[in-house]
Structure 1
């Protein structure tokens, strides 16, 4: 008899504990859904990219620099409805920004442009990393979107400077002076040891 009473108490306690676990799980799920909604709304408000060219140099280069055009087109398409859509979009943007290093037009294939592209790549990859975390830091994501915009403007302004400098005509003899200053063309300053055997 004592055994039956003990078993019945054990079963009742087990049922109540299972019911409490289900209620706790449901409340945790509800909190998680509400938190994701808040994160989504903050990211949705902050996801604003400067996707249009700010100067004529960028507009002109988009005709020859296909990768830049595709990157700006990818930025212009804002995801909708879910955080997963933002995660997919950040992955796509990350792939497009990596392609910026390919086929840089010769007039822009300079260290100033490459360094700005490298910084832009770093910011976009950080955005992709943060948005794919389990606990998304929405403030960092929004801040990175603003920093990407700043880096994009910096890249476009540098492109404009290069175009403006190329329009300045060279003075007489300046091209020869530039050739003389080019260290790649200079005669190597190697001292030949007279004691070494020579092939004649």
Structure 2
């Protein structure tokens, strides 16, 4: 038995010798495997980033059921549907309330650089909090003021000075749809693949910006 163990210890490491015979080929093979692993991890990272960034708003919604137009593709590309669908939903036993929420992907002027940039504007009834976002829910009275919005501090772009001023309690003005708006506060959601940032305001302010005060449609 002892003799067999000694033979096993002295046996030639063929596998290592084959790998070590041509070190350049070994390095090339290891580099190829490492590069393939790197690509897989990058793809997993892109997939996670895409999913997380595009579902942050969805996860913060305070709702059990959401009605959407069958033509809707994503939040920046929604379609309208008739408000009577909400009334029909309210007639269903067990439904406590049905409130409209408005989305529009539009262009605004960066309050810091005054350059145009894309932003997703969200409107809802401030008396019926729609998001589980403390920074938003603490400022519901502010967005009731005409043409007043909250700005996403996680937006992609050059907004550092503007955010610092708002943090100091100052308000900023800029333009959307050739209409002057006031930024009175901040919240954080972050940019997504569909928009560089978000603005939150009341449903009435949203209608004034995009629908000319007409509540005929709901998103």
TM-score in terms of structure 1 length: 0.31
- TM-score for the superposition, normalised by structure 2: 0.28
Normalized per residue, the structure richer in strand is 2
- Say which structure is richer in helix: 1
Q: Larger radius of gyration, structure 1 or 2?
A: 1
